[in-house]
Amino acid sequence: MAIRVFLPLLLLFLSSSHLAFSLYEDQVGLMDWHQQYIGKVKHAVFHTQKAGRKRVVVSTEENVIASLDLRRGEIFWRHVLGADDAIDEIDIALGKYVITLSSGGSILRAWNLPDGQMVWESFLSGSKPSKSLLFIPTNLKVDKDNVILVYGNGCLHVISSIDGEVLWKKDLTAEGIDVQQLIHPLGSDIIYAVGLSGLSQFDACQINAKNGELLKHESATFPSGFSGEILSVSSDTFVASDATQSVLVLINVRDSGISFQQTFISDLVQDFSGTAVVLPSKLTGIFSIKTNAFIVFIKVTDEGKLEVVDKIDHGATVSDALSFLEDQQAFALIQHGDNKIQLTVKQGHDWSNDLLKEGIEMDQQRGLVHKVFINNYIRTDRSYGFRALIVMEDHSLLLVQQGEIVWSREDGLASVIDVTTSELPVEKHGVSVAKVEQNLFEWLKGHVLKLKGTLMLASPDEIAEIQKIRLKSSEKSKMTRDHNGFRKLLIVLTRAGKLFALHTGDGRVVWSRLLHSLRKSEGCDYPNGLNIYQWQIPHHHALDENPSVLVVGRCGCSLDAPGVLSIVDAYTGKELNHLGAVHSIVQVIPLPFTDSTEQRLHLLIDADQHAHLYPRTHEALGIFQREFANIYWYSVEADNGIIRGHVLKDNCILEVADEYCFSTRDLWSIVLPSESEKIVATVTRKSNEVVHTQAKVMAEHDVMYKYVSKNLLFVATVAPKAIGGIGLVTPEESWLIVYLIDTVTGRILHRMTHHGSQGPVHAVFSENWVVYHHFNLKAHRYEMSVIEIYDQSRADNKDVWKLVLGKHNLTSPVSSYSRPEVVTKSQSYYFTHTVKNIAVTSTAKGITSKQLLIGTIGDQVLALDKRFLDPRRTVNPTQAEKEEGIIPLTDSLPIIPQSYVTHALKVEGLRGIVTVPAKLESTTLVFTYGVDLFFTRLAPSRTYDSLTEDFSYALLLITIVVLLVAIFVTWILSERKELQEKWR
């Protein structure tokens, strides 16, 4: 009877659990981590003159403008601009505003230096795209305002630095000049603009700074033409190279006119051959050119002669000039040595004298120095010291001072391309874990503190203590596999071609490696990484081997560029094997077969429609031949609107016999009418997704069978007119068509049209459903739609007698060739936000209910129960449906703030969401990347299979102790009572 009373109570308690993912504020950081980055630095401006916080303002290739603490490298403030709002230049005006010029010279913004608040924004219009220049003269005032000079889109603008008002604007396209340099001699009211018109005419203009009046315009033609930029060496001398890139042209602009002076590079540099490029720099009286073997520094003497001052190795990097004292200029030069770099600071006019020469130990994995910025400070002995901000090949940022690296930032992690995971090594016998486990007393003390915390009896000090214990839990950052599968390695490929392994426990970098195959080399000028695949996941018999990953890249951007491959050990980061410049790689298909060492077979499709098998072993070939006829794949040509299915045909017919190469043939093709449809999104199921059951039990003991197929492709097309984005089309001329296509047969299983809808479409495919996000132009709101697909041919297997007598067709194989009878159900709901990405949670066995993870425009990740996107929702569900858990239909999806996975944080510049199942069925790991990284653990249906983090063991212990005491006391009492009874 006791049990009968107790059970409903317990059930009542359990069922009161919440629908959504939710977190208490003190649980932040327990199972999640968040890292902030900025990306590869393009420009840096130091702000160190005044007392107080010393800072450096940087702009990056991720369109980030940030102010960093110069002492520690932390971010004071940061803004991520829009995706097509690339920053052209930055500077500091009035000592308090950071000025950014972006969007190809059309948007100028001023940010308050201390807190990053935008002060003003100016939109600069122009007539045609051109080079964009930002120039802040030190002492030029128009109407008492300090001004900013901007050249962009063919116009010269003079802007007040107080409020961003455009004081005047001069369209220089009328004169046909493409301005290359702006010069403002100190103290004058004249702005000099020099540039080119056409390829061979050099122009010099004098413009009145007060009103923009063109005072003087001189031009001269240089018959053999210029190539590249014009460099200013002094206020009236410029350098350029001619069209053949073998002659240097010194240009003098005097009152008497423009004069050209040619010097053959071969006359200056002895063993010169080929071409030379004038390196952009801002030095006075000196410039550098880059030949195929050297960087040559050339000085322009007062008489207008060129003089080679030094010749250094190819890989050197030069900074811009820094003015210090009154008239001195310095610049930094970095050369590479073995395991170290050599920083030299030289004085502008005196080459032989080094202001500073330091050797700095440098990690080989950071690669070459790409950029250097210098800043000076005054040492305690009143002499000048220099610090250098260095940007490395792997996009990391370092501050170097007095021969030491003061701080470094791994900013390569701001541009993650692809992510995969790897298990950690199994805990070996003999490995002591003693230091991890605390002694019993401390353990108990910790739990008593926790108990106090949950009972809200703890003092603030104790709360801090509890938080520290929880966050520092050494359990989560151990380097071995755990029982629940929470600890893993995230293998991350960045745009710099560097591979990082991050620990899921605390997000630290376990190892990092700059891949050989993705570095610039002789045969491969612009390598870029594409994807990572799991190459080898050792199981039972191959457990001694380390897991490894396959990194696929390409030399250049075009599809037919040669590919590069690397196989990297996931535990150590060692590059086990790399293949450079193989065949082109259009598509990589991981096959569901592994060889005896658990290496996964991969099929790489090249631009000529040949399939190449990897690994190139006979064993792999043997396995592959057995499955030869069962391999199907598809390709999508989004531009032409063609979807094709392919199969293997035979060995390749090449000049050199290659038994790992196969020719292919087209099996089917779907050609969409290009005048009415344009493919905007295609999505398939994840190949490693696990589905627990095909049957879905409905209310009233009805069963539906999910159509679960790995070969389903979701395709969304829109009207060609509607491709441009919101605000350009009317609802009448826009439509969205979605298809479900079987990729083996090319059969279209389902087709549906949304009239008045348009892209962008973001979709996710899981089990037997697709959820996609699109824009409804009629309501002018975003919509999320769901399509569920069910197998009707199995629907009549409900009869128990049929099952008993074996007359069911449940065991009949699922084949794409048997024409399936499918039923689809679909429904649409409004969704408030613009979406950047959608993913779905995945668990080990697929039993746990699913949640959609929606990356919103605010760079947050929202977890939304799949139950909200159930086509069976109705406005008034019946009692039976309610019991089944069907939510009454509402026109829009709810946004519950507590169900933001990222809680109060933002993953700036969000680009991808990856979910990985943990071993514990209830839990899934979520990794979100963009400019920031965020990792957390989710339990879509709460942790029903384990105790929660805040489970109080102490309370349990105390309960048991109290119960024991109670038993003892009552026993004594009853004994005494019995004795008394007997005496009576």
Binding site for other proteins (CB under 8 A): 2, 5-6, 9-10, 13, 22-26, 28, 77, 79, 81-83, 85, 109, 112, 115-121, 123, 125, 165, 454-457, 725-729, 760, 775, 777, 779-781, 832-834, 836, 857-860, 892, 895, 897-898, 900, 903-904, 906, 955-956, 959, 962-963, 966, 970
- Token output for 27: 């649980």
CA distance 499 to 571: 12
- Token output for 399: 């501050």
CA distance 755 to 621: 50
Residue (110 or 374) nearer to other proteins, CB: 110
Q: How far is the CB of 665 from other proteins (least distance, A)?
A: 41
CA 562 → CA 244, 517, 638, distances in Å? 29, 12, 22
Q: How far is the CB of 681 from other proteins (least distance, A)?
A: 14
Q: How far is the CB of 610 from other proteins (least distance, A)?
A: 39
CA distance 854 to 857: 10
Using only C-alpha atoms, the chain has a radius of gyration, in whole angstroms, of 34
Phi, psi for 563 (deg, rounded to 5)? -95, 160
Residue (103 or 536) nearer to other proteins, CB: 103
Residue (167 or 698) nearer to other proteins, CB: 167
Half-sphere exposure of 861 (CA within 13 A, CB side): 35
Task: Name the pairing type of β-strands 322-324 and 340-347.
Answer: unpaired
Residue (803 or 904) nearer to other proteins, CB: 904
- Tell me how far apart the terminal alpha carbons of the chain are, to the nearest angstrom: 36
Q: How far is the CB of 358 from other proteins (least distance, A)?
A: 37
Amino acid at the residue 577:
N
Residue (8 or 813) nearer to other proteins, CB: 8
CA 510 from chain center: how many Å? 19
Among residues 153, 134, 53, the alpha carbon closest in space to that of 92 is found at 134
**Helix, strand or coil, per DSSP, at residue 21:** coil
User: Residues 705, 694: contact at Cβ < 8 Å?
Assistant: yes
Q: How far is the CB of 116 from other proteins (least distance, A)?
A: 5
Among residues 178, 168, 171, the alpha carbon closest in space to that of 219 is found at 178
Phi, psi for 978 (deg, rounded to 5)? -60, -40
Residue (746 or 940) nearer to other proteins, CB: 940
Alpha helices by DSSP H, listed for 788-911, are 800-805, 879-884
Residue (107 or 417) nearer to other proteins, CB: 107
Q: How far is the CB of 462 from other proteins (least distance, A)?
A: 14
Residue (664 or 776) nearer to other proteins, CB: 776
Residue (38 or 204) nearer to other proteins, CB: 38
Q: How far is the CB of 536 from other proteins (least distance, A)?
A: 39
Q: How far is the CB of 644 from other proteins (least distance, A)?
A: 31
Q: How far is the CB of 124 from other proteins (least distance, A)?
A: 9
| Overall residue count recorded for the chain in this entry | 984
Residue (519 or 937) nearer to other proteins, CB: 937
Residue (297 or 775) nearer to other proteins, CB: 775
Q: How far is the CB of 132 from other proteins (least distance, A)?
A: 16
- Token output for 966: 């109670």
Residue (769 or 831) nearer to other proteins, CB: 831
Strand segments, DSSP code E, in 844-950 are 851-856, 861-865, 912-917, 924-929, 933-938
Residue (11 or 697) nearer to other proteins, CB: 11
- Residue 441: which residues within 8 A CB-CB, separation 6 or more? none
Among residues 60, 156, 69, 40, the alpha carbon closest in space to that of 108 is found at 156
CA distance 251 to 675: 54
User: Residues 744, 632: contact at Cβ < 8 Å?
Assistant: yes
User: Residues 552, 585: contact at Cβ < 8 Å?
Assistant: yes
Q: How far is the CB of 931 from other proteins (least distance, A)?
A: 13
Determine the Cα angle at 808 with ends 806 and 812, to 5°: 110
The residue whose two tokens read 């991520």 is 80
Q: How far is the CB of 952 from other proteins (least distance, A)?
A: 9
Q: How far is the CB of 885 from other proteins (least distance, A)?
A: 22
